[in-house]
Structure 1
Amino acid sequence: MPHSKLGAGLRSLAISFPSILRTNDHFRTAHPEMVAHAEQFSLAKVWGKGEAAAAPTAFDLTMAPYLADPFRGAVERRLRAPGEPALAMELRAARGALDAAKITSDDVDLVLVSSFVGDRFGVGNAAYLAKELQLRAPALNFETACSSSVVGLQMAASLVASDAYKRVLVVVSTSNSVQVVDDDSLGWFVGDGAGALLVERSSASAADSEFGVLGWKTINSIGTNDMFVIHAVLDPKAGGDGRTRLCTSANENAGAMARDTAEPYLRACVDGALSMASSSVRDVDFWVFNTPNAWYADFCARVLGVEEGRYHSVYPRYANIGAALMPATLYHALHEGRIHPGDVVGLYSVGSSSTASALIMRIGNVALGPYPEQPATSN
């Protein structure tokens, strides 16, 4: 059994979601013509058949079953209501992780926060989260798109292992709904969510010293630069007063960029993390794969040779929630008993215009925050 390379691991985990649950029926009712002619719009153009290949890739093969679905596998997504800030999701997650660990904010030495996007232009939510939690510890902003939670976990474990900090709280949120418009099908496959992970040193006991981070590997994902671009555009709902809103658009080559980079990034990160952990794919009991689309977990499993039952996906429940995908997937796997104390867990995430990252850890007794409340449906 390999020992933790850092002597630091996950103590508690909590997730949080905003107040609106939106199903596909909303789009069928509000935009019936768009749904009927979905192949003409953004989502299908990004995740479409593309040019015929002599030999379909693993990405193509796992995507194929979803091409007949106008929503490309998305079923439900959680969205922020008007006036509901990202900070509200982050606070619920942070408090959930602290309460689960039975500690207070005074016991935290550092907070790492990734808000994509924050509630204000030019500055992240870290200082505002610190104020609401009445923290005395420093709170720092960082961002590496969808990989923020995996990278944040590795950074936190490294900082704890260096003895610079005793406990580090990592808080991530993704607010995709404020970056899309309702009548663009690109918004059909995204949602909002937040997660919080509390990292601390493993105890000196022989048993507990096995738990924690075993290995990791992070690379840049420059092959996906500008795959999705966020613009500031005039808000048509503002009555012509010049106010702007965020709007995400897809590069015309986005689908090809995803296909071309998906397998090389996955193999480079997972192979590197497993090598540091002195482990193989077979040594990992459960995998938590990034799910920016409905088939990505199946794609990763196919490439790595991971059997069904050793991974799962929360995409049908939440759609693409960016950096919150890892904590949400891990939370549900723990809550549903798919992962047990002592299991080796592999994490993998990829973000466009940022990084791809894998991490291998042995799970201890992770305390879980409250189960997410079911919001009212908005149709």
Structure 2
Amino acid sequence: MTRRAVIKGVGSALPKRRVDNAELAAQVDTTDEWIVERTGIRARYIAGEGETTATLATDACRKALSHAGLQASDIDLIVLATATPDQTFPSSATKVQALLGIGDAIAFDVHAVCTGFLYALSVADAMVRAGNANRALVIGAETFSRILDWEDRTTCVLFGDGAGAVVLEAQDGGERGILATRLHADGRHNEMLYVDGGPSTTGTVGKLRMKGREVFRHAVVNLADVLGEVLTAAGLTVADVDWVVPHQANARIIDATARKLGLSPERVVLTVDRHANTSAASVPLALDVAVQDGRIKPGDCVVLEAMGGGFTWGAAAVRF
């Protein structure tokens, strides 16, 4: 009998402060029209004092546990995807573990930038399938506002902070669960999207740098390819897909990828307009929005996909 990891609950969390394009335009040489035309973004949330990657992640986990009807003590694995941890070490996953009051569990971070949640989901899925865990929290959480150059209008308008989480539970038999995952990386493209600092190089946190046009071109090709790969691995076709939940980086990338695959825009979840790019948090955050508003229902076939710095990219096919 096949053992699968089933998504039992979803949750998300955003900082208190919402910053729309008009407010940003008062601080940076930009306009609402310029941002919307190029990205589709209308607002983002910025973490304030006392709000960190771990606190946002913990809030998202509490909501996901409530949605699943479980207690924190039921969890034996925590995998947190982030590029903006609270500390260099220990992992932010262990901070979430402590904040949730979990005395003993496997807990660690995964770092694959915007693809981080897909990497974390794949790792947790493998551990559940192998019998190393029965119930897992898989989280994407970021405070990208703290690594932005607020004088660079080409990057600071694109990102926001937030967290999303899912609860996985082992299930023997049935059609539900994570059907297939596919992951990739190509480190030759480091200079296209990176942070210019780190403990081993500059001894500083650094700021985000990006060559937007090149990233756009690679994203459309890579995302379309990996979505096709994961559908083949799961024995599905595009016609079988009820919903695609893509990384929320840029509305134009999402639209171009959908067109390349022949996907109807009505089957693609879009939240980048209200949350901006929240890196590893964007896929679970968008997933939570679509589950909570009733679009994604039990039995639906959902494909999650993302691409980020590295380059990294990946996808997962899930039966809800």
Q: What number of residue pairs does the alignment pair up?
A: 314
Letter in 2 for 1:266: L
Where 2:86 maps in the other structure, the secondary structure is coil
Distance 1:284 1:249, change over 3 A: same
Match of 1:279 in 2: 236
Letter in 2 for 1:100: H
For residues 76 and 70 of structure 1, what CA distance do their matches in structure 2 show? 13
For residues 262 and 239 of structure 2, what CA distance do their matches in structure 1 show? 9
Deviation at 1:67, TM superposition (A): 6.6
Structure 2 length as normaliser, TM-score? 0.90
For residues 176 and 315 of structure 1, what CA distance do their matches in structure 2 show? 15
Unaligned runs of 5+ in 2: none
Letter in 1 for 2:52: P
For residues 2 and 163 of structure 2, what CA distance do their matches in structure 1 show? 28
Higher relative contact order (CA 8 A, sep 6+): 1
Match of 1:262 in 2: 219
Match of 1:325 in 2: 282
**Are 1:248 and 2:208 an aligned pair?**
yes
2:141 and 2:164 in contact (8 A); partners too: yes
Where 2:267 maps in the other structure, the secondary structure is coil
Match of 2:150 in 1: 182
Where 2:251 maps in the other structure, the secondary structure is coil
Match of 2:310 in 1: 353
Distance 1:358 1:99, change over 3 A: same
Deviation at 1:138, TM superposition (A): 2.1
1:6 and 1:158 in contact (8 A); partners too: no
**Are 1:161 and 2:129 an aligned pair?**
yes
**Are 1:35 and 2:30 an aligned pair?**
yes
Unaligned runs of 5+ in 1: 39-65, 234-242, 364-379
Where 2:206 maps in the other structure, the secondary structure is strand
Match of 2:77 in 1: 110
**Are 1:99 and 2:66 an aligned pair?**
yes
Letter in 2 for 1:171: I
Match of 2:163 in 1: 194
Identity across aligned pairs (percent)?
A: 25
Deviation at 1:72, TM superposition (A): 3.5
Where 1:323 maps in the other structure, the secondary structure is helix
Matches within 5 A, 1:1-379: 6-31=3-28, 34-35=29-30, 69=36, 72-135=39-102, 136-185=104-153, 186-204=155-173, 209-222=174-187, 224-232=189-197, 246-251=206-211, 254-259=212-217, 261-363=218-320
Deviation at 1:97, TM superposition (A): 1.4
Rg larger in structure:
1
Letter in 1 for 2:183: T
Deviation at 1:91, TM superposition (A): 1.1
Greater alpha carbon shift after TM alignment, 327-336 vs 342-351 = 327-336
Letter in 2 for 1:201: A
1:216 and 1:274 in contact (8 A); partners too: no
Deviation at 1:347, TM superposition (A): 1.1
